[in-house]
Structure 1
Amino acid sequence: MIFANAMGCDHKQYQRMCLKVQDDVITQITSELSQMSDVDSHQIVDVDSKLLMPSFIDCNVYPKGRTLSRKTLTSLSQKALKGGYGTLLLLPDTLPVIDSEAIVELVKSVDKDLEVHILPCIKPIFCDDDKLKLTDVSKLYGNGARGIYFQSDIEGNLILRIAQYAKMLKTPLICFAQDISLAQGVINEGALAAKLGLPTIHHKSQSIEVAKICEMLLHQEVEVLFSAIGLPRCIEIIQSYKQQGLRAYTEVSLHHLVLDETICDDYNTAGKLNPPLPNKSQRKALVDSLQSGQIDVLTSLQCADFNSQKDQVFELASFGIDSIAYGFALAYDRLFKPHNLSLSLLSKLCSYNPAQILGLDSGSLEVGKRADFMVVDLARETFIDDSFSPYYGAKLESKVVMMYRDSQLYEID
């Protein structure tokens, strides 16, 4: 199959492009169709000057209600396709938990029938007689799971043992850093929380845990992705340890770069996320970090719940957001275009870097790479009609119109 007359864009190029795919691999790239070999024996898809980019990869995703089933994974896949995502890393704190070969097999068996590739991540610990013990990480990895996910507030000895597994298997650690004792509230600490009379999540609940994990993993020869960083101070800490040799990556959600805590005013539960949305000055500092190259990965922070769980008083409503279906449009319309950031940077943060971290043979438009990409019409709009979304009623510039992966071309309404 040949994709002709595209504006091809990845982490290092933005140019007119014709791209040939054979056996799910990109085999030739030219600037004009006339330069392409063996044209007559291939189906030609005229992209008509639309944007062609590697599919996004999201390293921070949960199924609806964190419930693991064929139905929830199918729904997640269908939404992700619309948002331009080709691969999802499924975090393991689900029901059931991804801590055994049987559950990894369950995800893999469902994945075979999905439009989007869903990778199970490894939960490295389980509770036995009120004691935390290590799972057989190597067996789960050998069965196809990728990445080892843990929360920072577990025993230090366990963290170091988990790091040894990561080093041995050459798979990344994925850490959600948060001191639970400082995160018993529901909203960012500050003036808005005081106005609403809501219990707060202390601003140091994440930074002190980030510092702890950085110090523990320094010189351990492992890679760690800090999941869903919510405050600029955490980025400063990670950057300082990077300079000392820590192989760390900073992940920030699109929402923490686009929204601030004022969306929660009037007790609007659509903006109830964990980590909580920052205040205006903190959000600006996060955007500054993005512009200066200190953020490595962007996530949709997909963690949808049933509407009945969001339609509660603020303190009882669930954390989370259902946003993966408009991921590309949100990033383009509300973040990259307003701040005059390049589409190549967007591709780097949402495709190339996640592919490198997870060891995937995708994420860029190069001969020999796996063909996994989207076609975007920048002249069309994506309308958000989810009344439980903080973006409800928005018309976002751009729309994903095609996705290609695993020899399948999906046309998206």
Structure 2
Amino acid sequence: MSVLINVENLGKAFRTYPSASQRIRSWLGLRTKGVQDVWVLRHLNFQVFAGEAVGLVGENGAGKSTLLKMIAGTLAPTEGKVELLGDVRAILELGMGFNGEFTGRENARHGLSMMGLSAEEAEALLPEVEAFAEVGDYFDRPLRTYSSGMQMRVTFAVATARRPQVLIVDEALAVGDAYFQHKSFEKIREMQQAGTTLLIVSHDRGAIQRICDRVILLENGQISREGDPEVIMDYYNAMLANKGNQKHSVQSEQLEDGRVATTSGTGEATIQRVSLYSAETGEPIEIATVGQALELRVDLHIHEAIDQLVVGYVIKDRLRQDVFGTNTHHLDQVLDNLEPGQTLDYRFRFDCNLGEGSYSFSVAAHADDTHVRHNYHWKDLACTFEVVNANKKRFLGVAWVPPTLAIEHSTTTTGEAP
């Protein structure tokens, strides 16, 4: 498999000056004092292969956008190098160099020409760009009259009018409405299936896991981890949940089936056991049938006094995308003022209205309505199970929501001929 993006010892530093006069002296080539280099990224090494889709994740300020700009060639690195071996298209910022006084059509024509297309080729692609952007009459109005979402529509439509070998996409898609985001990701998926190599930044976990083959986590200006999207995203979310708490820990453990489970938390309360049972017989199960009554049992132990305890779970599909989740906050059963030494047994009963496939539970003990403020203990892949369809009509998808059907017949009468 050929390499299309090669990053070697890449780093970027931004220079800071103690005063405006020192900055001016630097511009004039004169000697300066108190100048400091602030490193945003350093010692980055990775490759992106032909046909691969790689996601970049990290907190705000981690250097994701800076990295994409250096790869796209719009920002010079301070050290190291980037080698690009293919036609690269980048969607990094709204407008993509467009002029606010020009119409969408004029900007699209200019953008296509900047991609190396002849005037005839650009003109031939304009109807396709207009149709994909779906901005209506605004396509012939000045860009300054557009909303940010409309600008994104034209920007994306121009950048993807002709399939590139490498497509780089920053968070710019986040400004679009839900409809256009869905449409854009479908377009990205089509290009990926046709052989386009992708490098994408997004905070949308579902999009990252659906599209990407590999994820790189940036932390403190360096590559913290890289690998399987589900594993890296689980670790990243656990890291965010425990941010700022000195007691927190985040660990990854490889299970017997080869999957990697992430656990995190501060330890005031710990999840001792998670298991799935038939709600009717009370027997433990690993295989459930569609529509079967189930009971998820979660046993916890309190190690330190805590003011509030919320326990919840999320059912995830085989790609670890959320299918359903709830917790005792939403169920109005929050416990307060718990003392050390207590053991609690939670029993969540529900009907298995799921499609056939492999599923898992992520379980958490925390304060408030989510685990963000104070995460005592979080366990991914805490329990896994299979769902089979034993006695229901055949259906598709991950949710069993059978409809009732009524068909009305009507007869149209026509007048008799004179």
Relative to total residues, which structure has the larger helix share, 1 or 2?
Answer: 1
Q: State the structure with more CA Rg.
A: 2
TM-score category (smaller protein) = under 0.3
What TM-score comes out, normalization by structure 2 length? 0.26
Relative to total residues, which structure has the larger strand share, 1 or 2?
Answer: 2
What TM-score comes out, normalization by structure 1 length? 0.26
Q: Which has the higher contact order (CA 8 A, sep 6+)?
A: 1
